Structure formats: structure tokens, C-alpha cells
Amino acid sequence: MKIRILLFASFAEEAGFAERLVELPSPSTVRDAWVETLRFAPPLAKWPVPPLIARNRSYARADTPLAEGDELAFLPPIAGG
């Protein structure tokens, strides 16, 4: 199945890309998509899973199942004050 991966802020900067289409076997989870993303973005390996994940614009957990055409957004932690 094909999944669209979006990286934001420091994740995109560290990875060197903001968007990528990846192919995963079915069934797969959000965690599987993250592991596949790390193949293209080794600097992100310091995160076992990203702090915030959105699947099709709704928050998701790492064990959330994926479907063909899903869009995943991986969001880094944000500090504020």
C-alpha cells in the first residue's frame, strides 16, 4: 500500500525532505511507516516514535493500522514559553 509521509519543522530540516510517498506491506501500522521513514531520514532515529502523529489529520498512536492512501504527519516536539 502507498502512504504519504509529511514531516514538519525540525523533522523536515533534519531529514532533508518534507514529503515522501512510501510503499508498505499490508497490514502495516503507523510505527511501520515511521521505521520506513527512518531509512530515508537516519537523523530522526533518535526518536523511537515521533512525539505527535496525525493520520488523515486526526491524532493517532503508533499502533494505529494504516490503509492505502493514508496521509501521515510526523510532528516534532515543540517548546514554548
- Residue 58, helix vs strand vs coil: strand
The residue segments making up the domain with residue 12 are 2-75
- Per DSSP, the residues of 24-59 read --SS-BHHHHHHHHHHH-GGGGG-SS-SEEEETTEE
Regarding beta strands 2-7 and 19-23, do their DSSP bridges make them parallel or antiparallel, or are they unpaired?
antiparallel
Mean pLDDT by 10 residues, the chain (81 residues): 95 95 97 95 89 94 97 84 53
CB atoms within 10 A of CB 19: 11
For the chain, how many structural domains are there in total?
1
Q: Tell me if 76 sits within 8 A of 69, measured CB to CB.
A: no
Cell 510532528, residue?
Answer: 75
81 located within any domain: no
Reported pTM: 0.90
80 located within any domain: no
For residue 7, give the CATH number of its domain.
3.10.20.30
Q: What is the pLDDT of residues 1-23, one digit of tens each?
A: 999 999 999 999 999 999 999 99
